[in-house]
């Protein structure tokens, strides 16, 4: 089972919609909205493909802040279908996102994941990410 990782195109919209629903739950995002986001957004979306089937995705953003001289990067989402896990796909998605962020001029990339998500934490640490002492606070409206 050989996987290929590449940046998403509009042809991946239906698969991304399905995978996102598996990952985040809720209503399925319409393909048209995903295509619009792919065309207008600064977001990078990488997909992992096995036998012409999209089995995972990762998302990243780059942004500028007056507080930092360099462009900042963040991996915001990562999902691989259960049946395709433990095959190095997440690490390949991370590598693809990193390469594209670096090409944009990003010098530092951060990741936010659940404190108890040991599989994700292990994957990021395997890819040389280091735990930080920051604390996430959020507010819903």
Parse the chain into domains and list their residue ranges. Answer: 4-126
**Which residues of the chain form beta strands (DSSP E)?**
4-7, 44-50, 53-63, 71-80, 106-111
pLDDT in tens, 33-44: 999 999 998 899
Residue 58: closest CA among 107, 136, 111, 130: 111
Among 4-8, 14-18, 96-100, 136-140, the minimum mean pLDDT is found in: 136-140
pLDDT in tens, 92-140: 999 999 999 999 999 999 998 888 899 999 999 999 999 888 777 788 8
Q: Is 22 helix (H, G, I), strand (E, B) or coil?
A: helix
Query: Can you identify the CATH homologous superfamily of domain 4-126?
Result: Gcn5-related N-acetyltransferase (GNAT) (3.40.630.30)
pTM: 0.90
């Amino acid at each position: 089972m050989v996987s290929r990782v590449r940046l998403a195109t509009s042809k991946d919209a239906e698969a991304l919609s399905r995978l996102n629903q598996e990952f985040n739950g809720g209503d399925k995002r319409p393909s048209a909205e995903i295509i619009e986001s792919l065309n207008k957004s600064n977001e990078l979306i990488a997909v992992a493909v096995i036998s012409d089937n999209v089995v995972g995705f990762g998302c990243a953003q780059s942004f500028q802040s007056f507080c930092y001289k360099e462009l900042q990067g963040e991996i915001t989402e990562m999902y691989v279908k259960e049946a395709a896990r433990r095959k190095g796909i997440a690490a390949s998605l991370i590598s693809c996102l990193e390469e594209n962020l670096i090409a944009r001029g990003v010098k530092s990339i951060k990741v936010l994941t659940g404190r108890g998500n040991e599989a994700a934490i292990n994957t990021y640490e395997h890819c040389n990410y280091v735990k930080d002492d920051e604390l996430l606070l959020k507010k819903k409206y």
